[in-house]
C-alpha cells in the first residue's frame, strides 16, 4: 500500500509518500480501507518532534473514515465492506477509569495512529458505524475536534444561557466547539484573526464575533459584551499568547478550558487571579469513547455539520500540513485516499 511516513522530526517536507507493507490485523483487530483522514494540529506537533524522536518510521493520523477490509481473529459484529468511522482514543479497557467510561483518565490513554495510509489496523472497539448522509471526507473530519469539544463542555458543565468564549473559532476545533456550545444553548462569543471569517461564524449562529489583532487583550471587549460580568467559560487553544487574557475575561467562579497551545505552552501566571476569583482551569484531551457514537446521530439530524475547508489527495499531506500551520482555514483540512 501507499502511506505517508515520517523518519525524523522536521517541516512538512519530512512527510514522505511511499510504498510500505500493508498491515495485517491481529486478534481483536480490524483492517480498515481508509477513504479519508482528518488532519489535526497534534500531527503537526508530532511531525515537529514535540513528543520526541521516532524509534522507527511513523505513519501519522488518528481520524479516519473508510470501509472494513479484513477482520482479525475473534472480531464479531462487523462486516467486510461496512462503512465506518474510527474512534481515535486508545486505552487499556481494564482499569477503573476505563471501566467507569472515563478513558482519558487511563494511565495508558493515547490515540490510534496510521490514518495517513491506504490501510490502517485498529482495535475492534475503535470502529464505529458511519451514519448515512455523511461522505467519507466529512466523517473523517469529526473525531478529534467534536469529541474534544464535547468532553470539554461536559467537564465545564456548560448550560443554557451561559457565555462561552472560543479562541480560534474558525479552525477545526473551533467550528466543532461553536456548534456544540449552541446545541447546549450557550451564548457564544467567537474570536477570529480574520475579518472575512466573521460571516461564516455568524452563519453557524455565533452570537458575537470579535476580530483579534493577535496581541491586544480582549477581556475588555468580553466585559463590555456581558455588561461587566465576564464569560462563564473560555476555551483556549492558543496558550501562551492568550491564556492570561482568558483568565481575565472570566467571571468570578468561571472556567478556562485549556485545549491546546498553538502559540506555545509557557505561561507566567498570577495565581491570585485564580484563587481570589475562584477560577477553575480544566485540561481537555480528547474524551471518553462513548462520545463519538453519541453525537454522530446529531449530524444525521442536521443539528451538527461537518465543516470542510480543503481536501488534499493523500500524497499532498505536506501541503495539508502547510495550510493548517498557516492557520488559514475555516473548519477542517482532510486527506482523501
Site of interaction with Zn ion (CB under 5 A): 91-92, 95, 98, 106
Q: Give the strand order in the sheet containing 187-192.
A: 208-211, 187-192, 163-166, 231-236, 250-258, 280-283
CB of 194 to Zn ion, least distance (A): 41
CA distances to 2, 23, 119, 327 from 20, rounded to whole Å, are 6, 9, 10, 31
CB of 109 to Zn ion, least distance (A): 7
CA 188 to chain CA centroid, Å, is: 19
Count of Cβ atoms closer than 10 Å to residue 223 Cβ: 16
Cα–Cα distance, 296 to 137 (Å, whole number):
14
Q: Which is nearer to Zn ion, 192 or 289 (CB)?
A: 289
What are the start-end ranges of the E strands in 141-278?
A: 163-166, 187-192, 208-211, 231-236, 250-258
CB of 320 to Zn ion, least distance (A): 32
Cα–Cα distance, 230 to 160 (Å, whole number):
16
Residue nearest to Zn ion (CB): 106
Q: Which is nearer to Zn ion, 92 or 217 (CB)?
A: 92
Radius of gyration of the chain (CA): 20
- Residues β-bridged to residue 68: 32
Q: Which is nearer to Zn ion, 96 or 132 (CB)?
A: 96
Q: Which is nearer to Zn ion, 104 or 260 (CB)?
A: 104
CB of 290 to Zn ion, least distance (A): 14
Sign, Cα dihedral of 62, 68, 73, 75: positive
Q: Which is nearer to Zn ion, 66 or 89 (CB)?
A: 89
CB of 143 to Zn ion, least distance (A): 19
Q: Which is nearer to Zn ion, 9 or 110 (CB)?
A: 110
CB 225 within 8 A of CB 208: yes
CB of 200 to Zn ion, least distance (A): 39
Question: 115: which 3 cell numbers?
Answer: 490514518
Q: Which is nearer to Zn ion, 112 or 222 (CB)?
A: 112
Region for 227 from its dihedrals, namely left if φ exceeds 0, alpha if ψ lies in -120 to 50, beta otherwise: left
CB of 257 to Zn ion, least distance (A): 23
Q: Which is nearer to Zn ion, 98 or 115 (CB)?
A: 98
Count of Cβ atoms closer than 10 Å to residue 17 Cβ: 15
CB of 241 to Zn ion, least distance (A): 35
Amino acid at each position: 500500500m501507499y502511506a505517508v511516513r515520517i523518519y525524523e522530526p522536521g517541516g512538512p517536507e519530512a512527510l514522505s509518500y511511499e510504498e510500505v507493507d500493508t498491515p495485517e490485523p491481529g486478534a481483536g483487530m480490524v483492517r480498515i480501507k481508509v477513504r479519508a483522514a482528518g488532519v489535526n494540529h497534534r500531527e503537526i506537533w508530532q511531525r515537529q518532534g514535540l513528543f520526541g524522536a521516532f524509534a522507527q518510521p511513523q505513519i501519522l493520523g488518528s481520524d479516519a473514515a473508510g470501509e472494513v477490509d479484513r477482520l482479525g481473529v475473534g472480531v464479531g459484529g462487523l462486516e467486510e465492506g461496512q462503512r465506518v468511522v474510527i474512534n481515535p482514543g486508545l486505552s487499556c479497557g481494564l482499569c477503573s477509569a476505563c471501566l467507569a467510561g472515563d478513558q482519558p483518565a487511563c494511565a495508558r490513554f493515547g490515540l490510534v495512529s496510521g490514518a495517513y495510509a491506504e490501510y490502517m489496523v485498529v482495535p475492534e472497539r475503535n470502529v464505529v458505524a458511519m451514519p448515512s448522509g455523511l461522505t467519507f471526507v466529512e466523517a473523517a473530519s469529526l473525531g478529534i475536534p467534536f469529541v474534544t469539544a464535547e468532553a470539554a463542555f461536559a467537564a465545564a458543565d456548560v448550560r443554557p444561557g451561559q457565555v462561552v468564549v472560543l479562541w480560534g473559532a474558525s479552525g477545526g476545533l473551533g467550528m466543532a466547539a461553536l456548534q456544540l456550545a449552541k446545541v447546549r444553548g450557550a451564548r457564544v462569543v467567537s474570536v477570529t484573526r480574520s475579518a472575512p471569517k466573521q460571516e461564516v461564524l455568524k452563519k453557524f449562529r455565533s452570537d458575537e464575533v470579535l476580530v483579534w489583532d493577535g496581541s491586544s487583550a480582549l477581556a475588555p471587549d468580553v466585559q463590555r459584551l456581558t455588561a461587566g460580568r465576564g464569560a462563564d467559560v473560555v476555551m483556549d487553544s492558543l496558550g501562551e499568547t492568550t491564556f492570561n487574557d482568558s483568565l481575565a475575561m472570566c467571571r468570578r467562579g468561571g472556567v478556562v478550558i485549556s485545549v491546546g497551545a498553538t502559540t506555545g505552552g509557557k505561561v507566567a501566571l498570577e495565581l491570585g487571579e485564580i484563587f481570589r476569583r475562584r477560577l477553575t482551569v480544566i485540561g481537555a484531551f480528547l474524551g471518553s469513547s462513548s462520545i463519538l457514537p453519541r453525537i454522530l446521530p446529531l449530524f444525521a439530524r442536521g443539528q451538527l455539520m461537518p465543516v470542510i475547508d480543503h481536501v488534499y489527495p493523500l500524497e499532498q499531506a505536506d501541503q495539508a500540513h502547510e495550510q493548517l500551520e498557516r492557520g488559514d482555514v475555516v473548519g477542517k483540512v482532510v486527506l482523501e485516499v
